[in-house]
């Protein structure tokens, strides 16, 4: 297995974020097999998917300071009042991460959520 930045990112999402290949496939709109190819380095994601992965990794890494792996996954999939009832994973998929960053900044400042 080739160790690339993308494969390391996917590994982080699985280990830190409690996500699996299907979760990553759903958020990037690709098949689970494509995620597997990214993981092995036999294929690179398109720029849009690379951005989605980078945003997802950023959010997961910030959440790891406060939550366990399972809790990070739950946080991503839960509806949040601070996100007007939306799910963080859906906003990441849609490229609307600024709202999530604001919630994370409040978490850093106040230690709640």
Residue partners of 17: CB distance under 8 A and separation at least 6 = 56, 60, 63, 64, 69, 72, 73, 76
Give the model's pLDDT for residue 4.
Answer: 87
Q: Which of 6, 65, 67 is nearest to 34 (CA)?
A: 6
Average pLDDT, stretch 55-63? 96
Give the model's pLDDT for residue 1.
Answer: 46
What percent of the chain has a predicted confidence (pLDDT) above 70?
95
Q: Which of 71, 26, 82, 79 is nearest to 53 (CA)?
A: 26
Domain range for residue 57?
5-110
Name the pTM for this structure: 0.90
Q: How many domains does the chain have?
A: 1
Q: How confident is the model at residue 111 (pLDDT cuts 50, 70, 90)?
A: low
């Amino acid at each position: 297995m080739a160790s690339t930045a993308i494969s390391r990112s996917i590994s982080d999402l699985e280990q830190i974020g409690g996500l699996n290949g299907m979760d990553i496939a759903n958020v990037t709109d690709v098949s689970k097999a494509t995620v597997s190819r990214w993981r092995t380095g036999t294929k690179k994601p398109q720029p849009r998917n690379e951005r989605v992965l980078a945003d997802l990794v950023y959010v997961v890494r910030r959440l790891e300071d406060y939550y366990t792996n399972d809790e990070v996954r739950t946080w991503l999939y839960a509806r949040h009042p601070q996100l007007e009832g939306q799910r963080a994973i859906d906003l990441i998929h849609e490229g609307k991460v600024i709202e999530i960053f604001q919630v994370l900044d409040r978490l850093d400042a106040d230690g709640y959520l």
